[in-house]
């Protein structure tokens, strides 16, 4: 899988590409990350990439020409491709969207800056506009890293020896149960005895109960879409009655 990232700040990606799981996937040859400096496609001695908005108002708008030429410079990898604009106006990026994108051979990510990009880039070039959440960032670069991270760890082989992404939070729609490791006592807090019992069935039920309890308390919105078994529904009923802990 190949990612082409269009940005005015390619240096922001150097530690990301060197140090992260996607970075290791690059080293393993499973993914390619190409950084494209939009400024290299700007014209004139000053290589201007932004301009004042028609109609007036504060702030600057990214010019269409440099982004368009940067897009034209990308070699086609062959398989299906998608051009994604990161913007606060985009659809929310979700785990379901990450799975969908992980099946596409080539993703192009356009990172906006300033007030945004000229609307004609959207109209001419963009297949999908994504936001990573309801907060204000300074540009699309962190959004692009979020998408590369979430998508590339779904590609077979990227998560080497680490636990499978099927166990991840959000794959079954629940938050995770609490984790403990040594020491058994830390600042007078003991590891729940069930985890030391060696009774794997009891441990499984306890973990499932904790996952359901956390989700109910912190993210009740997730329970509506979660994949729940008959056992889960019974545990939830017990939690509601104050029976399970």
Binding range to ligand 9D3, per CB under 6 A, among 1-9, 102-110, 136-144, 188-196? 136-144
Give the bridge partners for 236, in sequence order: none
Residue 34 token pair: 């190409």
Q: Is 208 a catalytic residue?
A: no
- Active-site residue identified among 4, 37, 118, 153: 153
Binding range to ligand 9D3, per CB under 6 A, among 26-34, 84-92, 120-128, 198-206? 84-92
- Of 128, 123, 143, the C-alpha closest to 7 is 143
Say whether residue 173 binds ligand 9D3 (CB under 6 A).
Answer: no
Number of residues that bind ligand 9D3 (CB under 6 A): 16
CA distance 15 to 33: 13
Residue among 10 and 143 whose Cβ is closer to ligand 9D3: 143
Give the bridge partners for 36, in sequence order: 6
Strand pairing class (2-7; 32-37): parallel
- Active-site residue identified among 39, 88, 192, 214: 88
Q: Which one among 137, 159, 205, 228 touches ligand 9D3, defined by CB under 6 A?
A: 137
Binding range to ligand 9D3, per CB under 6 A, among 81-89, 94-102, 168-176, 231-239? 81-89
Say whether residue 49 binds ligand 9D3 (CB under 6 A).
Answer: no
Measured in degrees and rounded to the nearest 5, phi and psi for residue 164 equal -70, 150
Strand pairing class (61-62; 50-51): antiparallel
CA distance 220 to 212: 10
- Using an 8 Å Cβ cutoff, are 209 and 239 in contact? yes
Question: Cis link prior to 157 (omega < 30° from 0)?
Answer: no
Least distance from ligand 9D3 to the Cβ atom of residue 138, Å: 6
Least distance from ligand 9D3 to the Cβ atom of residue 144, Å: 8
Q: Is 115 a catalytic residue?
A: yes
Say whether residue 61 binds ligand 9D3 (CB under 6 A).
Answer: no
CA distances from 51 to 33, 42, 85, 138 (A): 29, 12, 19, 17
Q: Token match 């192009």: residue?
A: 108
Q: Which one among 8, 140, 175, 211 touches ligand 9D3, defined by CB under 6 A?
A: 140
- Using an 8 Å Cβ cutoff, are 109 and 148 in contact? yes
Q: Which one among 25, 64, 86, 158 touches ligand 9D3, defined by CB under 6 A?
A: 86
Residue among 135 and 200 whose Cβ is closer to ligand 9D3: 135
- Active-site residue identified among 115, 119, 162, 167: 115
Q: Is 192 a catalytic residue?
A: no
- Using an 8 Å Cβ cutoff, are 105 and 78 in contact? yes
Catalytic residues: 88, 115, 153, 168
Residues in touch with ligand 9D3 (CB under 6 A)? 86-88, 112, 115-116, 131-133, 135-140, 143
């Amino acid at each position: 899988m190949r990612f082409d990232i269009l940005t005015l700040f390619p240096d922001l990606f150097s530690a990301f590409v060197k140090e992260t799981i996607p970075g290791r996937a690059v080293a393993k040859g499973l993914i390619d990350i190409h950084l494209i400096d939009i400024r290299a496609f700007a014209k004139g001695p000053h290589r201007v990439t932004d301009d004042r908005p028609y109609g007036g108002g504060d702030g600057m708008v990214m010019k269409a020409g440099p982004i368009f030429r940067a897009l034209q410079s990308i070699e086609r990898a062959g398989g299906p491709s998608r051009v994604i604009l990161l913007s606060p106006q985009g659809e929310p990026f979700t785990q379901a969207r990450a799975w969908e994108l992980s099946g596409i051979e080539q993703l192009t990510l356009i990172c906006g800056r300033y007030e945004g990009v000229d609307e004609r880039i959207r109209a001419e070039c963009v297949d999908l506009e994504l936001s990573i959440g309801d907060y204000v960032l300074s540009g699309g670069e962190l959004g692009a890293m979020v998408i590369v991270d979430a998508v590339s760890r779904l590609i077979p082989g990227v998560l080497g020896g680490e636990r499978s992404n099927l166990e991840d939070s959000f794959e079954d729609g629940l938050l995770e149960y609490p984790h403990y490791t040594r020491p058994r006592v830390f600042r007078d807090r003991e590891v729940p005895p069930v985890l030391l019992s060696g009774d794997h069935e009891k441990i499984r039920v306890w973990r499932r109960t904790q996952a359901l309890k956390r989700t109910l308390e912190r993210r009740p919105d997730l329970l509506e879409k979660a994949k729940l078994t008959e056992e889960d529904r019974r545990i939830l009923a017990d939690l509601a009655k104050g029976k399970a802990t």
